[in-house]
Structure formats: C-alpha cells, structure tokens
Amino acid sequence: MPYRISRLGLVEIRSLDLDRDLDYYLNVLGLQLTAREGKTAYLKGWDERHAYSFALTESDRAGMVRMAFRTVDPEDLDYYEKRLKDFGIKYDIIPEDYRRGRALRFTAPSGHTVELYNEMDYTGNVLPTVNPGPWPEGLRGIAPPRLDHTLVTAPEPGKAIEFFQTVLEFRLSEMLVAPDGTIVAAWLWQRPAPHDIAIVPGKAGGFHHAAFVVDSADALFRAADILAMHKARIDYGPGRHGITRGTTIYFFDPSGNRLETFGGYTAYQMDPDSRAIRWTQDQIGPAVFYYSQELNETFLSVYT
C-alpha cells in the first residue's frame, strides 16, 4: 500500500479571545504568524514550508473546528475522492481556502470535520534555501519546528478508527485493547512516524490535543521552563508516553484547549511492514504516562 498522505497539514482551533490567545501562541508557544484575517490567525512552526499548519479562530467556545491532511501528490486527492464515493461518504468540495487549493471536506464517524487537500502556498521555512544554517536565531517562546499530530475523542472509537483505517488507509501503530479484544483507542499513521492522528473514547467532535515537535531532551525541559515562567497551565509532564515512546508535556492554551510538546526524537521509525503494538487496557497507566504509571484525573475527562 503506497502512502498518500504526507502529513497532518492543518489543525484549526477555536479561541474565546483571539488577541489574548494569539499573544500566547506567538510568545509562549512561539509559532510564526503567517497572517491574521478577520477572526482567524494562520500560524506555523518555524521549520514548516507551507503557508500555515495551525489556525486559531475566535468563537463563543473552545475546541476543534477541523483537521486537514495533505496528500503526497495532486492525484492522491482524486484517489481519495473516488474512495469517498465508493464508500458512500458524503463530502463537499471546497474550491479554495486561504492560500490553499481544492479540498475534500467530510465528517468522520467521530463527529470531526476532516479535510484532504494537496495544494498550499509553498512559502519555505524561515531559513534561506541556499546555504542555510541549522536553525534560526531570535525565536521566541518554545518555538517548535512543526505540528506533529492531533488526538481527538469519539463516542464509538471503534467506528472512527475503522473509518480512518479503511476509507483513508491510515495504519495502526499502536492500540489499546479491552479484555474482549475490542480496540478502545488507536494511534494511526501514514507518514513514517508513530502517529498522525490518535482516537480515544469521549464526546463526539472532542478535541483532546494538538502536538508540536520538540526535538531533544534539552528542548523538552526548556519548553517546561518557558511554560512555568509564563505561568501557563501545565496538565502533565515533562514525562514520557509508553505508547509511541515520545516525551511529552501536556498544557492548556488560555481558552482551555490542550496542547502538547511531543518528543518524537525518542520514538521509533515506521517501516511499511511495521505492525501494530498492542497495549492491554489494564496497562493504560504506563501506556499513557510511562513514568507515573497511572492515568491522571484529567486525561480521559478534560478536553474541549
């Protein structure tokens, strides 16, 4: 099976106060601002080459507006359009969006708005394209290089997981399995990394977190320092997940949306032949929080 999705290209989140939250995203999380258009701000990590990967839209509530995956080639969008038709999934064609080409938009069984697109303005990262240095000076805040993955909730996680597997051809990297063998939660990938999206039980359309890359242990602890210096609300960490092996800090933006610094540098590399790792439900503690070995109160109950 060839892989047709290059990455989680966009997460759009609702903000209760865009001025306040944008200040946080620019100066504490340290994303780059591409543009602010009305009630939406378009952002990205410093090493991302397309126009934006994260959007923040003012609303009367918190939570996720949509997630969008970028296909590897333009033809892959046609491939998926045929697949949506074959599976009888209703979809809309979005001719264009801010600095982005045609997209397919549909609702996953989890209740989330999902889009597939291929074209977005290629702006380059913040480094020169000729003889670049390894990283830019003068960044503010945590300054993650890029968006990594999202984790969302579903009332019937099995159905949502099956949708992402069969219709969108994501593969399981890891799963949490109940004693009767049903899959309770899953981590799914196409890009050769532990996950592009994960699904856990919870309300329809629920947003658990979006994760940004930190690429060393130094960066992880520096991120924790920055969050604490700004009195940001840390939910958990620094720590490590059993699932994916990635290091983690969970924290909240000022509107209460959970974010993560994810240390994929500790994770494994996927191979097309990689097969799913199984976690039994009685080991959910170390599966999620490897060091404390138990779930905290907020992991399964607090999300937007």
Partner 1 sequence: MADLGAGEAGLYTITLRPVGGTVACGPEETVLAAILRAGASVMFGCRGGGCGTCKMRVTSGQIEHGRCSAAVLLEEEKKCGWFLSCQARALSDLTIELSAANKYRVLRSWWRLSLLDS
Contacts to partner 1 by CB under 8 A: 16-17, 60-63, 233, 235, 252-258, 297-298, 301-304
Pick from 171, 163, 151: nearest CA to 299: 151
Q: Is 119 one of the catalytic residues?
A: no
**Phi, psi torsion values for 290, nearest 5 degrees:** -65, -35
Residue number, 58 or 97, with CB nearest to partner 1: 58
Helices (H), the chain: 18-24, 74-86, 157-166, 217-229, 284-288
Q: Is 241 one of the catalytic residues?
A: yes
Catalytic residue among 12, 42, 52, 195: 195
- From the CB of 191, what's the least distance to partner 1, in Å? 29
Catalytic residue among 25, 42, 236, 250: 250
DSSP string covering 182-230? -EEEEEEESSSSS-SEEEEESSTT-EEEEEEE--SHHHHHHHHHHHHHT
Residue number, 19 or 78, with CB nearest to partner 1: 19
- From the CB of 163, what's the least distance to partner 1, in Å? 24
Residue number, 125 or 304, with CB nearest to partner 1: 304
Token pair for residue 9? 């290209």
- From the CB of 165, what's the least distance to partner 1, in Å? 29
Catalytic residue among 50, 209, 236, 303: 209
Q: Residue 285 to residues 55, 177, 268: CA-CA distances in angstroms?
A: 32, 13, 21
Catalytic residue among 50, 112, 149, 208: 149
Pick from 284, 286, 228, 238: nearest CA to 262: 238
Q: Is 208 one of the catalytic residues?
A: no
Q: Is 195 one of the catalytic residues?
A: yes
- From the CB of 154, what's the least distance to partner 1, in Å? 17
Residue number, 17 or 37, with CB nearest to partner 1: 17
Token pair for residue 82? 């045929």
Residue number, 5 or 18, with CB nearest to partner 1: 18
Token pair for residue 288? 């999620």
Dihedral through CA 20, CA 26, CA 66, CA 39, nearest 10? 50
- How many helices (H) and strands (E) would you count in the chain? 5, 17
- From the CB of 257, what's the least distance to partner 1, in Å? 6
Residues marked active site are found at 149, 195, 209, 241, 250, 260
